[in-house]
Amino acid sequence: MIVRRSLLLSTLALPALAQTPWAPNRPMRMVVPFAPGGAADTIGRVIAEQLAVLLGQPMTVENRPGGGTTIGAVAVARAPADGHTLLYATPNVQILNPHLMRSLPYDPVADFAPVIAVLKAPKLLVVRPDFAARDIPGLIALARREANALTFASAGVASSGHLAAAMLGQMANVEMLHVPFRGTAPAVQEVMGGRVDFMMDNIATLLPLVRDGRLRALAVSTAEPAAAAPELPTVAATLPGYHDASFNYLLAPGRTPPEVIAVLNATVNTILDQPAMRARFEALGIEKLGGTPQALAAMVREESDRWGPVIRRGGITAE
């Protein structure tokens, strides 16, 4: 899909770009390493649309699903390092895949240049409405009665929901049975139907079902309460130190010049500060991030150090 300026709000402006040492001189592309229609694809397209307006060039959104995001990542890693190609990344690309896969077709550090963190999204831990446990201590107590008696669903082996629940089990020192599905939708159906006990997934997906009474939320995964559901306790209130939030960010090919990264970073910061963008994020229960490329690089290192031990202890590998 090619996004042109006429499709977007004309009120956005970035006057400083006129004085910058770099500006794109031909159409750009954003690679999304997922199929169309998912949460990452949706937000990636919104960012791409507004980049087209502010940078004055059309931008193609190119979906490259498969290989646990490696297909899309390779496409960007091998692209010219001139600012005209971006990757809309999730933690798989640099944080999880190096621990989940024996070998990668790219260097997770050298082949990419950090641009900016876009957003983070809490997860909810949900059960069916009549489930016995009313809170996280109750859930852990059920799990302690018998190893693997408690079951949890996920969108697949090594999915973010799988890893979040695995970390909970490790920190609580309980064994629970993982029941993977091919996607979030069937996992949700099995929890609502009572065939699996609980699941953890993004708040944007699960909160509407909680509000409708089809699921019951026990807690949020972030260290602090979620703005979209401030009434819910955190997992960390029971397991101090627990924290999990899916975050999305932008990468450019490695060796992209600093002056190019600076323009891209400033432009996306401007996009994230737009009231319409903030309102859209709030409606989905997600938090905008922004900041510097250096802050993003530090976040990636910190998250990699945190998830590596969880994946190794759980013996988790990508399918």
Q: What is the pLDDT of residues 65-111, one digit of tens each?
A: 999 899 999 999 999 999 999 999 999 999 999 999 999 999 999 99
Q: Which position has the higher pLDDT, 51 or 204? A: 51
- The token pair at 109 is 């550090």
Q: Which amino acid is at 251?
A: L
DSSP state of 256: -
Query: Tens digits of per-residue pLDDT, 143-159?
Result: 999 888 899 999 999 99
- With a cut of 90, say whether residue 289 has pLDDT above it: yes
Task: State residue 204's pLDDT score.
Answer: 87
pLDDT at residue number 141: 96
When pLDDT is cut at 50, 70 and 90, the band that residue 19 belongs to is: low
For residue 260, is pLDDT > 80?
yes
Mean pLDDT of 259-264: 97
Would you say the pTM of this structure is higher than 0.85? yes
**Predicted local confidence at residue 13, as pLDDT:** 43
Region class of 66: left (phi > 0), else alpha (psi between -120 and 50), else beta: left
- Within 199-256, residue ranges assigned H as helices are 203-211
Nearest CA to 10 among 74, 53, 47, 43? 53
Q: How far is CA 217 from the centre of its chain?
A: 20
Residue 147: Cβ within 10 Å count: 11
Residue with tokens 């990699």: 304
| Close Cβ partners of 77 (under 8 Å, ≥ 6 residues apart) | 106, 107, 111, 112, 253, 254
Cβ atoms < 10 Å from Cβ of 242:
21
Say if residue 132's pLDDT is above 60. yes
Among 218, 235, 245, CA closest to 117: 245
Q: How far is 5 from 267, CA to CA, in rounded Å?
A: 15
Q: Tell me the mean pLDDT in the region 197-221.
A: 95
What's the rounded Cα separation, in Å, for the pair 152 and 95?
A: 23
Got the DSSP string for 199-214? EEEEHHHHHHHHHTTS
Strand partners, 151: 177
pLDDT band of 8, cuts 50, 70, 90: very low
Residues in contact with 44: Cβ distance below 8 Å, sequence separation at least 6, in sequence order: 30, 32, 61, 88, 248
Asked if 3 and 59 touch (Cβ cutoff 8 Å), the reply is yes
Confidence of residue 319 (pLDDT cuts 50, 70, 90): low
pLDDT at 7: 34
Q: What percent of the chain has pLDDT over 70?
A: 93
Report the C-alpha gap between 311 and 313 in whole angstroms: 6
* Region of residue 179 (phi > 0: left; psi between -120 and 50: alpha; otherwise: beta): beta
Per-residue pLDDT averaged across 259-288, rounded? 93
pLDDT above 50 for 11: no
Per-chain mean pLDDT for the chain:
91
Nearest to 299 by CA among 257, 246, 262: 246
Query: Which residue do the tokens 């699903």 mark?
Result: 65
Q: Report the distance separating Cα 267 and Cα 51, nearest Å.
A: 7
**Which positions ≥6 away from 173 have C-beta within 8 Å?**
none
**Per-residue pLDDT averaged across 275-294, rounded?**
91
Stretch 16-38: mean pLDDT: 82
Q: List, for residues 174-187, the tens digit of each pLDDT value.
A: 999 999 998 899 99
Structure-block tokens of residue 249 = 């960010």
Residue 56 has pLDDT above 90, yes or no: yes
Residue 42, CB-side half-sphere exposure with 13 Å CA sphere: 9
Q: Would you state the pLDDT for residue 20?
A: 52
Check residue 148 and give its pLDDT.
87
